[in-house]
Amino acid sequence: MAKDKKVKEIEDLPGIGPTTADKLKAAGHDTLDKIAVLDPHNLAEMTGMSVDKAKEAVDAAKDATVLEFSTASQVYEGRKAIGRIETGSKELNDLLGGGIEAKAITEAYGKFASGKTQLGFQLTVNVQLPAGKGGMGGKALFIDTESTFRPERIEAMAQAAGLDAEQVLSNILVVHALNTEQQILAVEKADKTIKENNIKLIVVDSLMALFRSEFPGRGALGERQQKLNAHIHKLQSLADNHNLAVYVTNQVMDNPAILFGDPTTPVGGNIMAHAATTRLYLRKSKEDKRIVRLVDSPSMPEGEAVMKITPNGIKD
Ligand code: GTP
Ligand code: MG
C-alpha cells in the first residue's frame, strides 16, 4: 500500500473505517500506540478484517508512532511540574505527597458516610486556589450520578476558606447523570468544555453506581466491564491531555474470599484496580474523624492519615 497519506488517527489506518475505529475506541484501543502493540490476529478477530489486512494496519500504526526517549532527570523535572490539589487535611496531603495529582486518577472507596463525597466537594473548592497555594487555578467539572451534589455544602467550604462563595460555585460545572449513557457522554464530550473553562479537576461521584445497577448479575459483567474500561480510559486521556486531576468515588462490597481481616473491597474488579493511579480507602472513626488509607500509589508508601469532616470542610 502506498504510504501517501499521513496517519494521524486510527481512522487513517489502511482498512479501518470510521465504524471500525469507533468499535476499537470503545474497546479501549483508542490511540495509535495501542493499535501498534496489538497482535494482528487479535485485531482481525475484533474487527472482522483479514489477518493480512490487520497486519498492514498494525504496521502502519507502528510507523506512525513516534517513540521518544527522555532521560530520567527530564522525567523527574516533568513530574515536579505536575499540579496537585490539596485536600484540606495536612496529614492527608502528606500521605499523598502534597495532594491529589494531576494527570492521574485518584479513587476514594469506602462505605456510606465515609466522606468520599465530602472530599470531592472540598477538591472542587481547592482546585480553584492558585497553583502553589493548594490548587491549580482552575475550575471543576462534577459528574453526579447519585443526586448527592450539595451546593450549600460547597458554599460553606468556600466561605470558611475566605473565598467568594458565589464565584466558587460559578466555577463548578455540574452534570447530573441519570444512566450510564449520560455518564459516558458527559466524559466523551468534555474536551471542549475543559478547554473553554480551564477545568483542572473532574469528579465522578460515584463512578460505579449506575454501572452496577444497570448491569446486574454475572451475565452482564462482560459488557459492563467493557463499557467501564472505555469510560475510564477516556477519563485518563482527559487527565493526560489537559493536565488535570480526576477524582472518582467508588462503592465497596464484602469479599467473601477474605476470611481474616477487613473484607471491604472496592467494586469494579480488575479494570478499576488497574485504572486508578492512587487508591484511597476511607473509613469512619469516632464522630467526625475519618481514617484514610493509601492502598495503592506509584510513588508513596502505604500508610494512613486521619482527617475530619467539619462544618468548614475537610480538616485535620
Ligand atoms: P455514600 O455516598 O453514601 O457512599 O457516602 P460518602 O462516603 O460519599 O459520604 P459523604 O462524603 O457524603 O459523608 C457523609 C458524612 O459527612 C456524614 O457522616 C456527615 O455527618 C458528614 N457531613 C455531611 N455534611 C456535613 C456538614 O455540613 N457538616 C459536617 N460537620 N459534617 C457533614
Ligand atoms: Mg457520596
Q: What is the pLDDT of residues 272-296, one digit of tens each?
A: 999 999 999 999 999 999 999 999 8
Q: What residue's CA is closest to ligand 1, atom 26?
A: 311
3-state secondary structure of 232: helix
CATH code of the domain made up of 83-315: 3.40.50.300
State pLDDT tens for residues 263-275.
999 999 899 999 9
Which residues lie below 8 Å from residue 90, measured CB to CB, with a gap of 6+?
Answer: 316
CA of 116 to the centre of ligand 2 (A): 6
Report the alpha-carbon distance of residue 177 to residue 190 in Å, rounded. Answer: 14
Sheet containing 289-296: which strands, arranged edge to edge?
172-176, 139-144, 199-205, 245-250, 104-110, 278-284, 289-296, 303-310, 313-315
Write the residue with the smallest CA distance to atom 22 of ligand 1.
309
Q: Please give the residue that has the higher pLDDT: either 256 or 163.
A: 163
Place of cell 488517527: 9
Ligand 2 centroid to 117 CA: how many Å? 4
- Give the pLDDT of residue 260: 87
Per-residue pLDDT at 253 exceeds 80: yes
How far, rounded to the nearest angstrom, does the alpha carbon of residue 25 sit from its chain's CA centroid?
17
What is the reported pTM?
0.84
Report DSSP state, residue 190.
H
Residue 228 or residue 258, greater confidence: 228
Model confidence at 107, pLDDT cuts 50, 70, 90, reads very high
User: Where is average pLDDT lowest: 22-26, 119-123, 156-160, 236-240?
Assistant: 22-26
Ligand 2 geometric centre to CA of 287 (Å): 17
Please say if the pLDDT value at position 11 is more than 50. Answer: yes
Domain boundaries, the chain: 10-64, 83-315
DSSP output for 235-284: HHHHHHHHT-EEEEEE-EEE-TT--SS--EEESSHHHHHHH-SEEEEEEE
Per CATH, domain 10-64 is 1.10.150.20: yes
Residue 101 in this model has a pLDDT that exceeds 70: yes
**Pocket residue to mutate for ligand 1, from 152, 308, 309, 315, most atoms within 8 A of Cβ:** 309
Dist. CA 284 → ligand 2 center (Å)? 13
As a whole-number percent, the residues of the chain with pLDDT over 90 amount to 84
Determine the angle formed by the axes of helices 116-126 and 151-160, rounding to 10 degrees: 50
Write out the three cell numbers for 183. 455518564
pLDDT value of residue 86: 98
User: What pLDDT, on the 0 to 100 scale, is given for residue 2?
Assistant: 44
Residue 311 beta carbon below 6 angstroms from any ligand 1 atom: yes
The pLDDT, as a whole number, for residue 1 is 43
Does the Cβ of 118 fall within 6 Å of ligand 1?
yes
Categorise residue 205: left if φ over 0, alpha if ψ from -120 to 50, beta otherwise.
Answer: beta
More confident residue, 15 or 4: 15
Which of 107, 109, 111, 117 gets mutated to test ligand 1 (max ligand atoms within 8 A of its CB)? 117
Beta strands (DSSP E) in the chain are 84-85, 100-101, 104-110, 139-144, 172-176, 199-205, 245-250, 252-254, 264-266, 278-284, 289-296, 303-310, 313-315
Q: Confidence band (pLDDT; 50, 70, 90) for 5?
A: low
- Residues 284 and 113 sit within 8 Å (Cβ to Cβ): yes
The per-residue pLDDT for 94 is 96
